[in-house]
Structure 1
Amino acid sequence: MKTFKLENEPKIKSGFKTPDNYFDDFSEKVLQQLDQKEVKVIPFYKRKKTISLAAAALIGFALMIPIVNNYRATSNDLDEATLETYLSYQSNISQYDLIQKLDDSDIEKLNNDITLEDETLEDILSTSPNIEHLISEQN
């Protein structure tokens, strides 16, 4: 392969040329153009803040919506069905153990009379598969 030396090769002339006497009055032309175009600068701290504050508040509220919904969804309140299922699968807990853990307010809640109509009671007893168990619990 033939060696290539940059110094020995003919130079290609650029297609761009500066006009004659271009740099003689260049600085004066630039300074004249700067004086003509004066831009009014408004400092950032002097701007009206109402629009930016409203936008920031809107974004803040929009970001809080998922957090509030997640907080409500993960509350620690147990529903009755979950509690009843848990207690039914705990074979080492008797009804006497549960009674000992009740306080006065719980007992008052239990003392409220629940009125059931005869038809409702008959429907519950007829559809219950373990009616013998319910009867033996009452005795």
Structure 2
Amino acid sequence: MSARTKARRRALNLLFSADVRGDDLAVALAAEAKRAASEPERQSSWLYAREIVDGVVDHAGEIDEQITAHSRDWKLERMPAVDRALLRLATWELVFNDEVPTAVAIDEAVELAKELSTEESGAFVHGVLARIARSN
């Protein structure tokens, strides 16, 4: 598994857990940064995970607008929490990170959705992200 794939998983865990618990994402990020500092073997994945979460925090309103506009009658609060976190992560990569190819951002999110969410989540996440990618 590549360092970026590991970083996406770490970012997803942070986004998901903060959402489900109702925690402030910045506070969760600070706690994870403290933990990462004590685990040097995880440093390579931590830097990009932090970049993702910082990006989602910085552009939260725009990201949620993109998801809402392209999710075809699905409200954010009605989506499974894993799907919501994945869509936020991948939307940040698609819209705000020019270093990640569109296909990679979508494929990684779809694979995580298939693995961690509902049976229909892979197709749902793919559809929303494909529409976001086409509009940007």
- TM-score, normalised via structure 1 length: 0.21
Bigger proportion of residues as helix: 2
Higher-RCO chain (CA-CA 8 Å, sequence separation at least 6):
2
